[in-house]
Every structure is written in structure tokens, then in C-alpha cells.
A and B are shown apart, each in its own frame.
Chain A
Amino acid sequence: DAMVIQNPRYQVTQFGKPVTLSCSQTLNHNVMYWYQQKSSQAPKLLFHYYDKDFNNEADTPDNFQSRRPNTSFCFLDIRSPGLGDAAMYLCATSSLAGDGEQFFGPGTRLTVL
């Protein structure tokens, strides 16, 4: 089945130790998104790619970076995780040729020790 896959599902890192989260999709969608969801809060958009064009939200910390080497894959790099970066990270895709529906992966739960 076509889907959005995130790896790992659970990630534990130490304060200040870089970490990379992975997202892949088989939907062949041209837009990919990264959202951050802290406990009991609404998901918040960090950035998105339209094809290879990168769009950073104005309030996304510099500590967060992203790479999209091809249509199928997108990575979220956290250069120096702090305790406040512990959250669920959600990857989503959509097709601008479609009806605008966004499809989400299962998320990666990040714990920072």
C-alpha cells in the first residue's frame, strides 16, 4: 500500500547529541512537511519542501535543518537537541495536483536525556 513511513518510531538521544529522523513516501507527492507536536499541543509546522524548494517557517529554530535528496525521502536533522525538543515529529505529504489532502506518517517520538 502506498504510504508515508517514518523511522525510527522511537528515538532517544542525549542533550546536545545530533540526531536525524527519516521520512519516506510511496505516494509520489511533490510536497513533504515536517511538524512538531509537543505533549497535549497542536502540531506545529517546522518546514516543507515543494519538490526541492525548501520553505522554512519564520519561527523554526536554527537548530532544525532538513534535507530532501529525492522525491521519496526527507530528513529532519536536529543539530544540538535540548530538553525542549522532546516531542512527536510528524512527516506529511500532499500533491499540489490533488485536492490538498495531507497524508501523515506514524511519527517519531523523540526523547532527550
Chain B
Amino acid sequence: KQEVTQIPAALSVPEGENLVLNCSFTDSAIYNLQWFRQDPGKGLTSLLLIQSSQREQTSGRLNASLDKSSGRSTLYIAASQPGDSATYLCAVYSGGGADGLTFGKGTHLIIQP
């Protein structure tokens, strides 16, 4: 059974810092990996999708990498801003059909002004 772990569970940094969020998964036979953002009491916003054949994806100040063989992904946030404060969730898609995502519990990120 696939398990996803995110470290750290919480992180507080001053504005402007570059930071890295970590995600690991137990079964490397994945189809893709998604990073989501969740604001308090809200739904999920997709940030980046990495296919199993890709090594990284970039969107603005966000860069996600994938090392499928070691079961790891990182989300790099450059020049953090207070508006980046949210919970960041990593999820893997292991099925070849219509199976759902397996999520980590997330990293709760606070950017101090």
C-alpha cells in the first residue's frame, strides 16, 4: 500500500527566504505526482504536476523535482512571500486507470512579514 510522508509538518520562516518542502513515497511505481496548496478551510489548488518520466517542473517561483527511484520529491519556493502561507500537500497517483491520489498530511507553512 502506497504511503506518502511530508517533512517538515510545519515551517515558519521570514519573508524573502528560499525554502524546500520534502515529500517521500514508499512505492516508486507511480504514474505522476502533484503538489497542491490548501488555504485554511478551503479546497485544493493544483500547483505543479510531474509525470513519472520527468525530473522537474517549474511555475513562477515554484520548482518541483522528482526522483522516482528513491521515492522523493521536493518543492522549492524562491523568495518567499507572506501570501505563500498555506498548507502544501504532496500526492501521488499510482494507478494506471481511474484510481485516486494518495496524499501526505502536508506541510503547514508560515511566512513571517
A interface residues with partner B (beta carbon < 8 Å): 6, 31, 33, 35, 40-45, 48-50, 55, 57, 88, 90, 92, 94, 96, 99-107, 109
Contacts and interface: CB of A to CB of B under 8 A. Distances in A.
B32 A101 contact: yes
A28 B100 CA distance: 18
B32 A100 contact: yes
B105 A104 contact: no
B100 A48 contact: yes
Contacts of A88: 41, 43
Given A42-B103, A43-B103, A45-B100, A104 B4 contact: no
Given A43-B44, A90-B44, A100-B93, 19 more contacts: A31-B98, A33-B100, A42-B106, A43-B89, A45-B101, A48-B98, A48-B99, A50-B97, A55-B98, A88-B43, A99-B51, A100-B31, A101-B46, A102-B46, A102-B91, A106-B42, A107-B42, A107-B44, A109-B41
Given A42-B105, A43-B103, A45-B100, A99 B43 contact: no
A3 to B, nearest CB: 11
Which 5 pairs across A and B sit closest by C-beta, in order of nearness? A45-B100, A42-B103, A50-B98, A107-B43, A106-B43
B48 to A, nearest CB: 10
Which of B44, B49, B105 has most A Cβ within 10 Å? B44
Interface string B10-40: 0000000000000000000001101010000
Interface of B: 4, 31-32, 34, 36, 41-46, 49, 51, 89, 91, 93, 97-101, 103-106
Contacts of B42: 106-107
A76 B14 CA distance: 42
A101 B105 contact: no
A53 to B, nearest CB: 8
